[in-house]
Amino acid sequence: MVTYVALLRGINVGGSNLVPMKALKAVVAGLGHDDVATYIASGNVVFTCARADEARVAANLEAAIQKAFGLRIAVVLRTHAELAAVAGSNPFRGREARVYVTFLAGTPSADALARLDPARSAPDEYVVRGRDIYLHLPSGAGQTTLSVDYFQKQLGTSATTRNWNTVNRLVDLSRRSC
């Protein structure tokens, strides 16, 4: 069994793409996944799955969400081990109050990474590590131009962002399913 954390992009934000967590939990369980739990209403689902094919699991979740709620929502998956590695590799230690992680669905190419502008939103900083982008946003997420839309456009892959507290809480929740 694999423990996954599904990170849904853009649900229950600003009154749009409304998805009740109880209903979402039922949809995920309806796909045959076990130990399903949600965390806060922003689209975080922890579950265990017999299948280790991440792309297929994500595609099945996206299709089930579209069927159940009529919404095309990107789903980014991380295993418990991957998420724990993210939490253990914070390049902005000591500044966690303003740290976020943008999770990418795919690994960006070197050419795509070269399109990123490190000075785009000074004093904001970012560090890319594989499929994860650590962000230090001193003025907060609402003030930066290092948005999830920017990274999706530049890197050509779906993405979603979580604050540091949520990342750590999801590590704890997914540990219980292992």
Q: What is the pLDDT of residue 178?
A: 58
Strand boundaries in 11-109, DSSP class E: 34-39, 44-49, 75-79, 99-104
Q: What is the pLDDT of residue 150?
A: 97
Q: Which residue has the tokens 């799955």?
A: 49
Q: What is the pLDDT of residue 177?
A: 64
Q: What is the pLDDT of residue 42?
A: 84
Residue 75 in contact with residue 66, Cβ under 8 Å? no
Q: What is the pLDDT of residue 10?
A: 81
Q: What is the pLDDT of residue 97?
A: 87
Q: What is the pLDDT of residue 18?
A: 80
Q: Residues near 32 by Cβ (< 8 Å), separated by ≥ 6?
A: 49, 50
Q: In which residue ranges of the chain is pLDDT below 70?
A: 14-15, 177-178
Q: What is the pLDDT of residue 96?
A: 86
Torsional sign, CA 14, 107, 130, 52: positive
Q: What is the pLDDT of residue 11?
A: 86
